[in-house]
Amino acid sequence: MAAHSSVEIAPSILAADFSALGEAVRAVEHAGAKLIHVDVMDGHFVPNISIGVPVVASLHKATQLPLDVHLMIERPEQYIGAFAKAGAAWITVHQEATAHLNRTIGQIREQGCRAGVAINPATPVSTLAEILPDVDLVLVMSVNPGFGGQHFLPSATRKIAELRELRSRYTYNFVIEVDGGVARETVPQVVRAGAEFLVAGTSVFHQQDPGKALQELQRLASEAFLQRA
Ligand code: DX5
Ligand code: ZN
């Protein structure tokens, strides 16, 4: 997928029924999803525990779609190899969670995966200045990570715009992703600001027809993308 040629909704399976993940993934794949967002939480970096390596391996068997694995865990460097082997296509680590970010990003790439860095709402974009040339993706958290179904924090839109400006000024290549509280009302503004991957949990899987909900968000996103300067 070329860096900024399209905008994609990445359904987050955190909001799906964990006893029927295969079906959930197939439903959104059938509806046209281009990637699946997988939230890994360790109960330390964030106050919640979700899923880990074995579930990523099972999902990899259940779908052809690239798995966009968001590690909300401390010391993610210890698990890069395992998630890569399990079938992650994209691996994103938090700037706040790894002491040697440059090395960790290098490890992800050595495993043949695309490497992403995420920042929490209280972390400024400026903390990423030295890593931006080396990443394939920057994830702007638009909620404090740990739970689905929270309200979108508007400061994320400004951070997305700042990243887009840096990307164009220095001709970097990273994709901009936004995660948390993405719904019909927030899709247009994040796309216009500069996001290309929009993570959506509640607004897809908590809807009566997740496939239709995904298509509607995708339509709004593509419309805003066409208007983007
Ligand atoms: C939050 C996770 C998100 C979450 C988003 O900590 O990183 O990916 O699934 O959920 P919604 O779309 O419900 O805000
Ligand atoms: Zn996430």
Q: Which domains does the chain show, CATH number per domain?
A: 8-228 (3.20.20.70)
Confidence of residue 2 (pLDDT cuts 50, 70, 90): very low
Give the integer Cα–Cα distance in Å for 88 and 116. Answer: 12
Q: What atom of ligand 1 comes closest to residue 201's alpha carbon?
A: 12
Scan for tokens 């068997």, then name that residue: 61
DSSP 8-state assignment for residue 113: -
Task: Give the residue numbers marked as catalytic.
Answer: 39, 179
Q: What atom of ligand 1 comes closest to residue 203's alpha carbon?
A: 12
What separation, in Å, do the N-terminal and C-terminal C-alpha atoms of the chain show?
21
pLDDT of 64-118, one tens digit each? 999 999 999 999 999 999 999 999 999 999 999 999 999 999 999 999 999 999 9
Q: Is 37 in the pocket of ligand 1 (CB under 6 A)?
A: yes
CA of 173 to the centre of ligand 1 (A): 25
Per-residue pLDDT, 5:
87
From 48, 51, 72, 179, the mutation candidate for ligand 1 (largest count of ligand atoms within 8 A of CB) is 179
From 9, 14, 152, 206, the mutation candidate for ligand 1 (largest count of ligand atoms within 8 A of CB) is 14
Q: Report which secondary-structure segment, H or E, holds 217.
A: helix 210-227
Per-residue pLDDT, 3:
53
Q: Report which secondary-structure segment, H or E, holds 54.
A: helix 53-62
pLDDT of 28-70, one tens digit each? 999 999 999 999 999 999 999 999 999 999 999 999 999 999 9
pTM for the whole thing?
A: 0.98
For residue 201, give the amino acid letter: G
